[in-house]
Structure 1
């Protein structure tokens, strides 16, 4: 048995006793509390220096996996595997997942070492010596812990009572008992006896041994771990792997610690004695003790003036802080929160964090101006809302139970409008939504997608081959108009269904849709007709969605017809659709813009479309490598004039001169386009503005509570009163597009 081991750093906690530096989405292990790097990076450095350690592996919350990778790579640290938990299930589950990974990757007898990411360790040689002893014991079939020789009584740590004699042939001791955090009297007795060690939480164990013990003592946890691990998906990243799990399967794992589940019950336990300075940095007092001036006991950072004060920790941010006549007090000032706490109450800081989090106070979650932390918080929300609320809601209540196909709307109780006709574009948009759901790994997506496609291709296709405007719930035609807008969404839906499934019938359907567009809707004066035998002014909007569809086919499938369509639409935008650089909505038959009309709606500008077109133009540049017209003017116009000031939301429409009508309104969908634009192409302050808009959108439009999960309001007046309290199914397409930009959700690859 060799000395190589495979380290897994556990980085799942949020460290709320160190609030306000540590936040839910920016935990202490990712913060620099001492030295030149985060606690996580210090841990990885210690492992890199051990001759027996393989490359670092990380088991962490999916909230901040990318941030961990960024920190490791910025420090030049090699990593092998990132194991992302969709939610925390405590350390027994984490250890089971890590052991399952080690066995699958390196074999049954692979020794895995579990180390918390947030510990302080001094004396590297002594740490390595203890780690080597634990690994040696693990290789001989033991579940080994490192126990720290106490330097004094401490009531904040659990203790391990060792036996007197070492195990035969090993340098570790058998474990007699685990002891909970003692009172001061007992802690003193433990230290004086010499038989007790602090429980460091650093484990070494063979993969097969730990999994066998987990089955023996906690079979339900073992079963849950096995099911979650079997359902994992693996992404390869330049020879490294990222493991992700089904939230449904992972949440079914019972939640308990590795100590309770296995370590306190197994007969295979062992403890390696460690003689080195160590702390779990569990609160502000422990951090002060590590960093304090030896004469005064004070730990200071920032512009701090102390007078007649001892044993204080004072961290400033951007202003002087004076402390006079105090002892054993913590003062931590950040850009958005201030903590003042007596040493004997440091354990209660987590209670303050809990109160703030329950009040949805952002300072409990991430620091003001901290883009990474804000993205982590919103990414977690976006994933939860889509995967646990919206996709399930619209797959159940949003599907007509008698005939299949999507309903047009749901009311605020989730009741479908099953007797009303449904526009066929809604079916196409829902096909896109559930193709994305399949891509993201939502387990119920495949049958919903197939049912939507079946209803759409059976009932929405007209006699000439295009797709009609609307059907009755039973699939019979309600309006057989062939509108170009609807043809754009047929192309878009088939592109995404083909991408999600690889089913060649969607390619054939897409080819047929391209042919219908070219043969029946081409306009002699450029662009496309409004539809077959459809009169009235021409619109830019169908052409925008044709650009979207063309880009989908070009980007996802390398389709030349898609590229030609996208090129044509960008040319029209550049040459015909703008006046003074700003998009217009309605046009004469020759595509000259309608600049004045008795009907004000024909001259209005829609800020949501300014953001939507701008996003598509940047996507065109990405897909084709060809410069597109700059979005600077339309974005500046939308930012200056296109928001309802009383709501802080994007307006539905404004005048061509930028004026808003007295009865200005805001629908949900324009907010999604603002968010998508700024998250995709904005600066850091613009991304923060997008996330602030996401918070306003959630508060103004999305329903709360389990009974209304996955539902939304459609439209508000400028005074905040509700105009439409129903959830149009067509808006789901906008929400899915917004909430699946790379900054908000990482697409889960198909296994």
Structure 2
């Protein structure tokens, strides 16, 4: 029956930089291919893709990532029920509360929501889906459910849950939540037994969730409800009202509800799980060679062991090292002790505090747009070189620039170019000149991705020198 299906809620608005320099504020880890050929967000979508078990998912993200969400879902053929845009970050309680108001008219109050972070890696095997079914059955009886992961080591980067009395053989009352412990405390808890990593994954009956929020976090629910009531539709997105949403306390669902309610249980389970919160976690979850090294991208290792080497830019050669992380992108390289990779945040904080380096923590050389994206190749005095890629069937806005002219050279695919009142087709190795101030547009009418090299020249080359006249994505 339709009401028995689970409604997935995927939280995809985070801007974490703990995996810098690969993950940055404008290109966080959930949208990056860290392990395998798909992003963490796409892997999360795939875990909820069985139509016999799940409804189409609701995504919560922000304005900056909205087109990334839709494009990555499109790439793997997943349809979305709704994409909710947070106008400002208010942690997980407000996001989940807003979803309850969005989901009610879509699915009714009798459904169960599975809340999933988009940046975790999970081995979705039989153990995982058995835990999902157990949690679903418990939630159908009106109980709020969280998942506890059997600890594999005395990790200090996770919160813990201590289980209480059993509700049945697979579900337990929650005795208490514990913050991230010291190493000695983590060892003590694991030796004692009955403690599980707090996964941040939940199964909530929608009606009871709203009742519990009303009782324990009324201000969160009220702000979220008002933000949804005053929201507006923008293409396929639901934009929450900024003023109303900002009234919500900035608080997690754990603090706002789970630590207060008496109507919550935990499902202990042992499926492979990691929040990939540090480079050593990526190393532990990667496929290592006989020397314990995990290497991806352009990398060569000699007499090196137990190390992580990742390059999306230059070729990295590592010799005679052990227990190190070497992460290279087009514009930055991080080298550090693999066992101290939780301290990457200190590097990011120092870079952010200096004007000359703060951009390295915000923007990646490759920027994604609803039509494709671009990579900055070279910047100089009064000139800039970019690689532009356009998805088949997409087109950029009709626009002009006050301060620059552009030269386009097609290197792959077919380009439809509008300049003034003329439209022309360009094939590979053909080029065109866009004079300063001329109205123009680029489109890909073909079946393969269009790639071109753009050379900009002028007195000012900032992205804000774009005057959009019309746009398919509501940006004009």
Q: TM class by shorter-chain length?
A: 0.7 to 0.9
Q: Structure 2 CA distance, aligned partners of 1:367 and 1:107?
A: 41
For residue 298 of structure 1, the aligned residue among 289, 293, 297 is: 293
Superposition pairs for residues 533-572 of structure 1, below 5 Å?
none
> 2:389: which partner in 1?
none
Alignment of 1:192 with 2:187, yes or no, is no
> 1:95: which partner in 2?
96
Residues 238-277 of structure 1: CA deviation (Å, up to 9, x unaligned): xxx5311222322232211111111111111111112211
Alignment of 1:330 with 2:325, yes or no, is yes
Deviation at 1:690, TM superposition (A): 10
CA contact (8 A) 1:610 1:638 kept: no
> 1:566: which partner in 2?
none
> 1:166: which partner in 2?
166
Q: Cα gap change, 1:252/1:294 in structure 2, threshold over 3 Å: closer, same or farther?
A: same
Q: Cα gap change, 1:149/1:373 in structure 2, threshold over 3 Å: closer, same or farther?
A: farther
Deviates more, 1:98-107 or 1:334-343: 98-107
For residue 363 of structure 1, the aligned residue among 354, 357, 360 is: 360
Report the count of equivalent residues. 430
Deviation at 1:356, TM superposition (A): 3.5
Structure whose alpha-carbon radius of gyration is higher? 1
Deviation at 1:278, TM superposition (A): 0.8
Coordinate RMSD, CA, aligned: 3.6
Q: Structure 1 CA distance, aligned partners of 2:180 and 2:363?
A: 30
CA contact (8 A) 1:678 1:686 kept: no
> 2:281: which partner in 1?
286
Alignment of 1:234 with 2:233, yes or no, is yes
Deviation at 1:28, TM superposition (A): 0.8
Deviation at 1:95, TM superposition (A): 0.8
Q: Structure 2 CA distance, aligned partners of 1:24 and 1:101?
A: 27
Superposition pairs for residues 314-329 of structure 1, below 5 Å?
314-329=309-324
Q: Cα gap change, 1:362/1:146 in structure 2, threshold over 3 Å: closer, same or farther?
A: same
Deviation at 1:296, TM superposition (A): 2.3
Q: Which has the higher contact order (CA 8 A, sep 6+)?
A: 2
Deviation at 1:697, TM superposition (A): 5.8
Alignment of 1:742 with 2:459, yes or no, is no
CA contact (8 A) 2:142 2:205 kept: yes
> 1:66: which partner in 2?
67
Deviation at 1:695, TM superposition (A): 2.6
Q: Structure 1 CA distance, aligned partners of 2:372 and 2:460?
A: 13
Residues 168-225 of structure 1: CA deviation (Å, up to 9, x unaligned): 6x83111010001111122122222221111110111122222222222222212211
SS class of match (2:305): coil
Q: Structure 1 CA distance, aligned partners of 2:10 and 2:157?
A: 22
For residue 313 of structure 1, the aligned residue among 308, 322, 345 is: 308
The normalised TM-score by structure 2 is 0.80
SS class of match (1:327): coil
CA contact (8 A) 1:374 1:688 kept: no
Superposition pairs for residues 35-50 of structure 1, below 5 Å?
35-49=36-50
Q: Structure 2 CA distance, aligned partners of 1:55 and 1:49?
A: 9
> 2:216: which partner in 1?
217
More strand by share: 2
CA contact (8 A) 2:84 2:239 kept: yes
Q: Structure 2 CA distance, aligned partners of 1:204 and 1:39?
A: 20
Alignment of 1:695 with 2:424, yes or no, is no
For residue 266 of structure 2, the aligned residue among 254, 268, 271 is: 271
> 1:251: which partner in 2?
246
Q: Structure 1 CA distance, aligned partners of 2:80 and 2:69?
A: 10
Q: Structure 2 CA distance, aligned partners of 1:690 and 1:235?
A: 34
Superposition pairs for residues 423-434 of structure 1, below 5 Å?
none
More helix by share: 1
CA contact (8 A) 2:84 2:238 kept: yes
Q: List gaps (5 residues or longer) in structure 1.
A: 378-550, 552-605, 612-616, 622-627, 643-672, 699-734
Q: Cα gap change, 1:110/1:694 in structure 2, threshold over 3 Å: closer, same or farther?
A: farther
Q: Structure 1 CA distance, aligned partners of 2:273 and 2:318?
A: 29
Alignment of 1:352 with 2:347, yes or no, is yes
SS class of match (1:18): coil
Q: Structure 1 CA distance, aligned partners of 2:401 and 2:368?
A: 26
SS class of match (2:154): coil
CA contact (8 A) 1:116 1:202 kept: yes
Deviation at 1:47, TM superposition (A): 1.3
Q: Structure 1 CA distance, aligned partners of 2:403 and 2:150?
A: 66
CA contact (8 A) 1:26 1:373 kept: no
CA contact (8 A) 1:678 1:690 kept: no
Q: List gaps (5 residues or longer) in structure 2.
A: 375-397, 406-416, 445-449
Deviation at 1:27, TM superposition (A): 1.2
Superposition pairs for residues 475-490 of structure 1, below 5 Å?
none
Q: Cα gap change, 1:317/1:229 in structure 2, threshold over 3 Å: closer, same or farther?
A: closer
Deviation at 1:114, TM superposition (A): 0.5
CA contact (8 A) 2:15 2:27 kept: yes
Q: Structure 2 CA distance, aligned partners of 1:204 and 1:132?
A: 10
Deviation at 1:235, TM superposition (A): 5.2
SS class of match (1:272): strand
The normalised TM-score by structure 1 is 0.52
> 1:261: which partner in 2?
256
Residues 290-333 of structure 1: CA deviation (Å, up to 9, x unaligned): 11426422111234333332221011344432223322211011
Superposition pairs for residues 675-686 of structure 1, below 5 Å?
677=440
